[in-house]
Amino acid sequence: MKIAQIAPLMESVPPRVYGGTERIVSYLTEELVRRRHEVTLFATGDSCTGARLVPVVDRGLRLDGAVRDPMAYYAILFDLLRRRADEFDILHFHIDYMHFPVFHSICRRTVTTLHGRQDLPDLQPLYTAFADMPMISISHDQRRPLSQANWVGNVYHGLPLDLYPFSIAPRQPYLAFLGRISPEKQPDHAIEISRRSGLGLKMAAKIDKTDQAYFEERIKPRLDEPGIEFVGEIGDAEKSAFLGNAQALLFPIDWPEPFGLVMIEAMACGTPVIAYRRGSVPEVVDHGLSGFVVDGIDEAVAAVEHARRIDRVGVRRCFERRFSVERMTADYIEIYRSMVEVSPSRLGHRPTVPANRDGSASDALPGSDGAARVGARA
């Protein structure tokens, strides 16, 4: 198939440091290329991909101090896509809803993966007005506020199996916090869990400008407490050691988490997750196998002791069974196929089935059970 992947422009694909959405776009794009699809990636010029790259801006807008209005560059992206739309069988958007008005007329040739929270009141009239835009969720909980949306599938995130090495045992056990410093991530709870469990805490996190005051008032004063270490923002190169040497990853969220990529990154290393029962957490964490779903600080402290005895091989097996990039990509391909079958007359050419290296048909157009079962829990 000829597939356009449309990434956010705030970070490169993959991102240099923080950037969950861009990371997933990268993993998906490279696996589609490996499966011999014709993929075009619309992203920043500093992106790295095996697909055909269309650079919309020179580099990620978040790291460009000269940028004042990011929407100006998205307007350029939409015009470019509008003129080239007929080149593709499917256009896969990862930029929330900004493209809806421009591509509404060809919505059956588009899918949109929603990567953010969907419980904001402002979104209700939006999804009512664009009720026919095909949407993909990254957890079933994410769908809950938007029953009127046109959900065509649910696809859990996946990672390359060789991305993070498995760690059979932490060398110098500590608890890990990885993500953003923000009220909804509750790093203050991570600090309290660490202090009460008697195990040190390492915090690898970025601080957005909007959360700077929260950091200064609630977190910074506690960084001098015994056992608390603030590492700062890290990238993939540092994550393996950071997560692999942890006794457990703390994920004490206080918001409807759409997925939580860091949870499966920890699982890939064999590190169990201790997470609050919010949003996608009960869907992602197999309680007692890949981690522990808890309600509040007291249960989290108790789970730290259980994490010392958990089978880390079992944690890794849960990751391999449920959250590989191969499974994620197969789920997306199934959705693409269902969309192409709905409106083949829209296309300027019939979709072809590329051959594998041995001459047999590839999995470019897999079974036709429909998108409804995509992403079903294993």
In the predicted model, is pLDDT for residue 207 greater than 60?
A: yes
According to the model, what pLDDT value does residue 169 have? 87
In the predicted model, is pLDDT for residue 281 greater than 70?
A: yes
In 3D space, the residue among 326, 315, 254 whose CA is nearest the CA of residue 284 turns out to be 315
In whole angstroms, give the CA distance from residue 302 to residue 294: 9
According to the model, what pLDDT value does residue 343 have? 61
According to the model, what pLDDT value does residue 161 have? 97
Q: Of the given ranges (26-40, 172-186, 227-241), which has the lowest mean pLDDT?
A: 227-241
Structure tokens belonging to residue 33: 């290329």
Q: Of the given ranges (36-40, 65-69, 154-158), which has the lowest mean pLDDT?
A: 65-69
Helix, strand, coil percentages for the chain (3-state, nearest 5): 40, 20, 40
In the predicted model, is pLDDT for residue 213 greater than 80?
A: yes
In the predicted model, is pLDDT for residue 65 greater than 50?
A: yes
Give the predicted TM-score (pTM) of the model.
0.87
According to the model, what pLDDT value does residue 239 have? 92
Q: Where are the alpha helices (DSSP H) in the chain?
A: 20-34, 71-84, 100-103, 123-129, 140-143, 187-197, 212-214, 236-244, 261-268, 281-284, 297-309, 312-322, 325-342
Strands (E), 97-243: 110-113, 134-137, 150-154, 175-180, 201-206, 228-230
In whole angstroms, give the CA distance from residue 356 to residue 37: 11
In the predicted model, is pLDDT for residue 348 greater than 70?
A: no
According to the model, what pLDDT value does residue 368 have? 34
Average pLDDT over all residues of the chain: 90
Better pLDDT: 334 or 365:
334
In the predicted model, is pLDDT for residue 372 greater than 50?
A: no
In the predicted model, is pLDDT for residue 203 greater than 70?
A: yes
**Sign of the alpha-carbon dihedral angle for 52, 57, 58, 60:** negative
According to the model, what pLDDT value does residue 147 have? 87
Confidence of residue 346 (pLDDT cuts 50, 70, 90): very low
State CA 2 to chain mean position distance. 23
Q: Check: CB of residue 154 under 8 Å from CB of residue 137.
A: yes
The string over 72-111, giving b where at least 16 C-beta atoms fall within 10 Å of a residue's C-beta and e elsewhere, is ebbeebbeebeeebeebbbbbbbbbbebbeebeeebebbb
In whole angstroms, give the CA distance from residue 244 to residue 203: 14
According to the model, what pLDDT value does residue 358 have? 38
In whole angstroms, give the CA distance from residue 207 to residue 121: 26
In the predicted model, is pLDDT for residue 114 greater than 70?
A: yes
Question: How much is the average pLDDT of 210-222?
Answer: 95
∠ at Cα 5 (205, 78), nearest 5°?
Answer: 100
The pLDDT tens digits of the residues spanning 351-370 come to: 433 434 333 334 443 333 33
According to the model, what pLDDT value does residue 344 have? 52
Domains of the chain: 2-158+324-373 (3.40.50.2000), 175-321 (3.40.50.2000)
In the predicted model, is pLDDT for residue 93 greater than 90?
A: yes
CB neighbour list of residue 29: distance below 8 Å, 6 or more residues apart: 5, 13, 39, 41, 49, 50, 51
